[in-house]
Structure 1
Amino acid sequence: MVFAWLKPALPPLEVAVDSGTGPVVVLLHGIASTAVTFDFLVPLLTPNHRVIALNLYGHGNSPAPDLEYTVDDHVDSVRRTLRRLGIRRGFVLVGHSMGALIAARYAAQDSTAVTRLVMVSPPIYPPASALANPADKAQMGFYQQFYDYLKANPAFTALTAQAINALSPIPNIVTVSETGWEATRRSMTNVIQNQTTIADLALVDVPVDVVYGALDPFLVKRGLTAIEKLANVTTHRIEIADHVVRHDVARLIASIIDEATAGA
């Protein structure tokens, strides 16, 4: 038996961006991606903010330790990395896609640390038990089967990544590596498919902004409807936008953050 206090400390995450001065903004990317997700956002923020973009475990040059890759595993790694940077509270937390789900759990656990939560293109999926409409159940069944197929077919997933990259305005926005595959696969199961994001958001007591595109293929209307009922949640819909943080999405996020940190 190895006591918890005898286990070696887990390594920190790669800090892909640490630039600018002012109120701190922390950026968390999504699954099978890296901090390049925010390439269009970072230049809009650095003139007036300290911007920190992290690469999650198994992504970019971050290590891929042998974990279950639950949402709490990701939250713990983000918290430990921020503390190494001297950051414990008073920051805006921005998450894209899976990163938004991790950010929601972070804010739910410690709202004294986060002053504002911004969720971009969050794949919020209600539990099947909460769905009564057959169409909603069918949609959720499709997503679950889709994720299961990606996990079971890494070669197909890699080809899909290449196709997305060919169309993306941000180079290499999707990365599927052999070293990070297990982290990606487990995160897909434990953070996205088995999520509790709606319950997490109910525990967040700071303002929450949800930015999404009307053309986002990962958007589930029922999940969005559920969180819109929360008093501290404001949704921002962009008609001509998909899942990617393109220029117009980046400008909207920057305006939200500028408003949130004005006078800070």
Structure 2
Amino acid sequence: MKRWTVGSRQDRPFRPSFRRTPILHIAADQGSGPVVILVHGIASSSVTFQDVIPLLVTQHRVIAIDILGFGESPAPDGCEYRLEDHVRALAATIRSLKIHEPFLLVGHSLGSLIGTRYAALNRRGTGRSLWNRLARQGPVRRLVLVGPPVYTSPQDIGDARVRARVAAYLRAYDYLRTNRDFTLANAAIISRLLPRGVFQITTKTWTPFVKSLEHCIESQTVVSDVASLHLPVDVVYGALDQFIAPGSLTVIERMRHVTMHRVEANDHIIRRGLARVLVRVIEADTADPDRAAEPATGSS
């Protein structure tokens, strides 16, 4: 099994695995007021936020973006779906919207890893061209991570129980990637039980799924990216989230600029209860953008 890395790639220059950076599909651009950008996760689409958008549009401009390879966004030939590829596409899309004021960035699942890297690059002043272009866009004023799949390298985890849990999750993901027929068959069953677009692993999305899983989730830099930020970060997660290994969030929970919001009786999907808590976190940000939101809890 591969060695999972944390933080080893964040200072490398961007080299896209495809020729032209595409503009992603804007699934929603509604309302007016402070800008909130929503980025969904792996094997999903912006339908992820269907219970969130109606609660926000009365006071915000809400923009929901389909990530590279999913929803109605393009799937470029030759794309390796590395975190860098996802971030480049997101940056190009936000740049096309000509948003110059500070905005709130919300990411769910893989979207939280993409959003964190975007925010980390957005705040750095370096000579690299992509970072310079990011600096010319409106800055991320607050980051909200929903159900972030935080998996540090098992070799770097001191607690034996947490180390064993994270290693088990990573073995499971490796199995899903390498057993296509099993994964597609089970995904078809699960997708029928959920709203259309919330979960989509099909022959069409297979390549984006397996490559994003391997290159972004199994091998990630989210902990070092969060640690590098100098802006408030809120983490909203369901107590029953099946993609969060028990104890895996402790490493970011201890960071001073991070506020945790545990939502009882909710899993990984943004159901109505979790949606209400997420909106309260966003609204608290609007009321006082210079102060981290107080921890919010709730249940469906």
TM over 0.5: yes
The Cα shift of 1:135 comes to 2.4
The Cα shift of 1:255 comes to 1.0
Inter-partner Cα distance in structure 1 for 2:268 and 2:276:
15
**Counterpart in the other structure of 1:260:** 285
Please tell me whether the aligned partners of residues 158 and 176 of structure 1 are also in contact (alpha carbons under 8 angstroms): yes
Equivalent runs, 1:37-116 vs 2, <5 Å? 37-65=48-76, 66-111=78-123, 113-116=139-142
The Cα shift of 1:220 comes to 2.0
Structure 1 residue runs of 4 or more that deviate by more than 4 Å after TM superposition: none
Change (3 A) 1:183 1:89: farther
Q: Does 1:225 align with 2:250?
A: yes
**Counterpart in the other structure of 2:211:** 186
Please tell me whether the aligned partners of residues 64 and 179 of structure 1 are also in contact (alpha carbons under 8 angstroms): no
Letter in 1 for 2:89: S
Inter-partner Cα distance in structure 2 for 1:131 and 1:188:
21
Please give the per-residue CA displacement for 1:67-107, whole angstroms capped at 9, x wherever unaligned.
22111211111010011111245110000011111111111
Please give the per-residue CA displacement for 1:14-45, whole angstroms capped at 9, x wherever unaligned.
11111111111111111000000000001001
Please tell me whether the aligned partners of residues 239 and 263 of structure 2 are also in contact (alpha carbons under 8 angstroms): yes
How many percent identity over aligned positions? Answer: 42
The Cα shift of 1:263 comes to 7.3
Please tell me whether the aligned partners of residues 23 and 48 of structure 1 are also in contact (alpha carbons under 8 angstroms): yes
**Counterpart in the other structure of 2:232:** 207
Change (3 A) 1:61 1:132: same
Provide TM-score, normalisation by structure 2.
0.81
Q: Does 1:137 align with 2:163?
A: yes
1:36 to 47, 72, 82: 47
Which consecutive unaligned segments of at least 5 residues does structure 2 have?
Answer: 1-14, 124-137, 290-300
Please tell me whether the aligned partners of residues 154 and 164 of structure 2 are also in contact (alpha carbons under 8 angstroms): no
The Cα shift of 1:177 comes to 2.8
Inter-partner Cα distance in structure 2 for 1:41 and 1:23:
15
Which consecutive unaligned segments of at least 5 residues does structure 1 have?
Answer: none
Inter-partner Cα distance in structure 2 for 1:108 and 1:9:
23
Inter-partner Cα distance in structure 2 for 1:171 and 1:181:
17
Residue correspondences, number: 258
The Cα shift of 1:166 comes to 3.5
Please tell me whether the aligned partners of residues 213 and 241 of structure 1 are also in contact (alpha carbons under 8 angstroms): yes
RMSD: 1.8
Letter in 1 for 2:31: G
Please give the per-residue CA displacement for 1:204-254, whole angstroms capped at 9, x wherever unaligned.
111110011111111123321100111100000111111010111111111
The Cα shift of 1:8 comes to 4.8
Provide TM-score, normalisation by structure 1.
0.92
| Other structure's SS at 1:230 match | coil
Inter-partner Cα distance in structure 2 for 1:80 and 1:88:
14
Please tell me whether the aligned partners of residues 118 and 208 of structure 1 are also in contact (alpha carbons under 8 angstroms): yes
Please tell me whether the aligned partners of residues 71 and 197 of structure 2 are also in contact (alpha carbons under 8 angstroms): no
Change (3 A) 1:183 1:166: closer
